[in-house]
């Protein structure tokens, strides 16, 4: 990123060198990367109500390193090509990182994980909604209860501006189903067309809809003989994702180095 000054709000709090605060009761200074995007604007709007301040707001062309020393945590909602550099910046300054950016390639994910391994706490989730992460939990429970007699399918819907498919939220649901049904990547089918034959028992179908201003909708189907179970989450306001990401940043402060998800933040991990 080309050198430039990020916009700054100074509302300093006392902070120890090891960042021991781990509660939303304490004011948190955030470096927000991707501040002019939809999620960045939503986070800026709700931060103060959630005991946080955007101490450094950065976007494309800004130098995120210019004011990171004033921050307690980094939240990244930018582009998949940018996250590695932001992760390295967080590591260099020994502060937690919350990754909300989606669409990373396998190589990018590996490079990011390598950069942060054993160094800082990272919360990395495809969706920061409390409701969606409850959906993740319920999907795992339903798969365990229903077993292989029920065939899983995933449907996700988003606005026409969304660039990646499936969504990060859908990818998390797919991972949960793969683990629950002991399936691999080759058994995940993205859409169907033509004479595909009868549906194999060991398969996960994934479908993406794009259109209009849909904030986000995800449904997991468990299709059995004579009945069907549907677990659905519908988002109507991006503030739910913003609130969750700030909650994750508060939670990450003082945690041991490692890569966590929102199920960890919410205590939904068995």
For residue 230, tell me if it sits in a domain: yes
Please state, in angstroms and rounded to a whole number, the distance separating the CA atoms of residues 97 and 130: 19
Using the predicted structure, report yes or no on whether residue 260 has a pLDDT greater than 50. Answer: yes
pLDDT in tens, 126-182: 889 999 999 999 999 999 999 999 999 999 999 999 999 999 899 999 999 999 999
Same domain, 105 and 163: no
pTM of the model: 0.75
Give helix 168-181 / helix 130-146 axis angle, nearest 10°.
20
pLDDT digits 0-9 by tens, 12-61? 333 333 333 444 568 999 999 999 999 999 999 999 999 999 999 999 88
Q: Which secondary-structure segment (H or E) carries 265?
A: helix 262-265
- Residue 29: other Cβ atoms inside 10 A: 22
Let me know whether 150 and 246 are in one domain.
no
Give the tens place of pLDDT for each residue, 203-222: 999 999 999 999 999 999 99
Domain shared by 17 and 112, yes or no:
yes
Catalytic residue among 158, 207, 233, 250: 158
Q: Assess whether 19 carries a catalytic annotation.
A: no
* Residue 96: inside a domain: yes
Number of domains forming the structure of the chain? 2
Are 223 and 153 contacting, i.e. CB atoms less than 8 angstroms apart?
Answer: yes
Q: 182 and 56, same structural domain?
A: no
Residues 67 and 138 placed together within one structural domain of the fold: no
| CATH code: domain of residue 216 | 3.30.360.10
The one catalytic residue among 50, 162, 178, 239? 162
Look up residue 182 and give its two tokens: 């002991």
The pLDDT score that the predictor gives to residue 52 is 97
Residue ranges in 147-194 assigned as alpha helix (H): 168-181
What pLDDT is recorded for position 1? 39
Across the range 73-87, mean pLDDT stands at: 96
pLDDT higher than threshold 50 for residue 88: yes
Distance CA 243, CA 48 (A): 11
Residue 20 DSSP class: -
* pLDDT value for 25: 63
Residue with tokens 């390193």: 65
Together in a domain, 37 and 92: yes
Quick one: CA torsion of 70, 71, 74, 79, rounded to 10 degrees? -20
Q: Which two tokens stand for residue 36?
A: 């002019």
Position 203 scores a pLDDT of: 98
**Helix (H, G, I), strand (E, B), or coil: what is residue 28?**
strand
Residue 198 structural domain = 130-235
CATH of the domain at 19: 3.40.50.720
Measured in whole angstroms, the distance separating CA 198 from the mean position of its chain's CA atoms is 34
Residue 138 host element (H or E): helix 130-146
202 is a catalytic site residue: no
Q: What does the buried/exposed string (b/e) look like for 36-49 if buried means 16 or more CB atoms within 10 Å of the residue's CB?
A: ebebbbbbbebbee
How much of the chain, in percent, has pLDDT values that exceed 70?
90
Say yes or no to pLDDT of 85 above 50: yes
Q: Does residue 6 have a pLDDT over 60?
A: no
pLDDT score for 80: 94
Q: Is the pLDDT of residue 263 over 80?
A: yes
Whether 270 is covered by a domain: the verdict is: no
């Amino acid at each position: 990123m080309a050198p430039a000054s990020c916009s700054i709000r100074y509302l300093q709090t006392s902070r120890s060198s090891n960042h021991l605060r781990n509660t939303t009761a304490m004011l948190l200074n955030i470096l927000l990367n991707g501040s002019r995007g939809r999620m960045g604007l939503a986070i800026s709007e709700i931060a103060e109500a959630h005991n946080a301040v955007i101490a450094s707001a950065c976007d494309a062309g800004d130098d995120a390193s210019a004011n990171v020393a004033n921050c307690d945590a980094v939240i990244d909602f930018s582009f998949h090509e940018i996250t590695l550099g932001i992760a390295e910046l967080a590591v260099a300054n020994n502060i937690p990182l919350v990754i909300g950016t989606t669409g990373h390639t396998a190589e990018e994910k590996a490079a990011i994980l390598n950069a942060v391994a054993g160094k800082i706490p990272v919360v990395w989730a495809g969706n920061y909604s409390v409701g969606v992460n409850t959906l993740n939990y319920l999907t795992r429970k339903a798969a365990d209860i229903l077993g292989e007699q029920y065939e899983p399918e995933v449907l996700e819907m988003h606005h026409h501006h969304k660039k990646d498919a499936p969504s990060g939220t859908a990818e998390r649901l797919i991972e949960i189903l793969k683990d629950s049904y002991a399936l691999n990547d080759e058994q995940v089918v993205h859409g169907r067309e033509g004479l595909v034959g009868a549906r194999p028992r060991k398969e996960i179908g994934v479908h993406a809809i794009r259109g209009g201003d849909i904030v986000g909708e995800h449904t997991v189907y468990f299709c059995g003989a004579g009945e069907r179970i549907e677990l659905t989450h519908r988002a109507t306001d991006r503030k739910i994702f913003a609130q969750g990401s700030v909650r994750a940043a508060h939670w990450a402060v003082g945690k041991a180095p490692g890569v966590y998800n929102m199920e960890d933040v919410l205590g939904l991990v068995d």
